[in-house]
Amino acid sequence: MVGSSHEALHRIFQKDPALLTRALQRVLHVPFPEPHEIAALNVDLTEIEPVERRVDTLLRAETDEGTYLLVVESQGKVDDRKRGSWPYYLSYLYEKYRCEPVLIVITQSSATAKWASRPIQLGFRDWHSLTVRPLVLGPDNVPVITSERQAERDVPLAVLSAMTHGRGPQAPAILESLASALRTIDPDSAAVFVQFVDSCLADPQAKQMWRDLMTAIQYFWRHPLAEQVREEGRIQDRQEMTLRILEWRGIPVPEAVRERVSACADLDQLEVWAQRAVHATDAAELFAEE
């Protein structure tokens, strides 16, 4: 599902894995070797019993220099819990696959990018037993693409530019150039990219402008894949709203309740649960009449 900017920011690399290595080479100037094969892997890093741990996107890149695991984390805000989880992800993945893991963080926030780029050093002051240095893609280094010709040369990178910079005075030029570039690619890919951008635009004016541009290009919005993706987004929004209402009201949400709500894809049922969440005194009351 891509109903949120968090999902869209990392899932674009599942749609076009090669975009990630291009970003490492061109944006961060990291001499990452040219991959001749990239495959998506299972993102679940949960062990048999303990707490669930899951990365956002995990890709395996085969290069002439060896095999690398590209761990992509979409980060909306500063979260000091990552000081423990990110080193865990990398250590676990190395132990499981015996391939070198590379952590890439993507964010729409300059402050979050600055925080995420700081090395995580575990141990005592003068002797660090483990150091993690994330590579960070954010508004301070992802290129601002406002030229149609530039956007057409690398449509996925233009999509990433819109997702990262789609606010303020640059937004109209970024979105207009991308809208023109989307005409040059296949409708299936365009429909997915349209939804990624729509999910990431937090500025109401930019979002409305984007929708107006896409309405002018009618076949994107009529495309069945676009409709399917929008439906998935509505379902995710309703799931999150139901759980958020309980949390706002200070009602504990057991994992079993969270899993049942998150697994439901019936909008009508989710609407019923959301209404019950407004008055419930216990999370289990969502399902009382079922």
The secondary structure of the chain, three-state, reads CCCCHHHHHHHHHHHCHHHHHHHHHHHCCCCCCCEEEEEECCCECCCCCCCCCECCEEEEEEECCEEEEEEEEECCCCCCCHHHHHHHHHHHHHHHHCCEEEEEEECCCHHHHHHHCCCEEEEECCEEEEEECCEEECCCCCCCCCCHHHHHHCHHHHHHHHHHHCCHHHHHHHHHHHHHHHCCCCHHHHHHHHHHHHHHCCCHHHHHHHHHHHHHCHHHHHCHHHHHHHHHHHHHHHHHHHHHHHHHCCCCCCHHHHHHHHHCCCHHHHHHHHHHHHHCCCHHHHHCCC
> Which pLDDT belongs to residue 221?
53
What is the pLDDT, as a whole number, of residue 24?
Answer: 82
- In this prediction, residue 49 carries a pLDDT of 43
Asked whether the whole model's pTM tops 0.75, one would answer no
For position 222, what pLDDT does the model report? 58
Q: What is the pLDDT of residue 227?
A: 64
Per run of 10 residues, the mean pLDDT along the chain (length 290 residues) is 63 79 85 81 55 75 91 90 92 91 92 94 86 94 93 94 84 92 86 84 84 72 59 80 87 89 88 87 83
What integer pLDDT is reported at residue 206 of this predicted model? 86
Residue 1: the pLDDT is 42
Name residues whose C-beta falls within 8 Å of residue 186's C-beta, 6 or more positions apart in sequence. Answer: none
Which pLDDT belongs to residue 192? 82
Provide the pLDDT for residue 105: 93
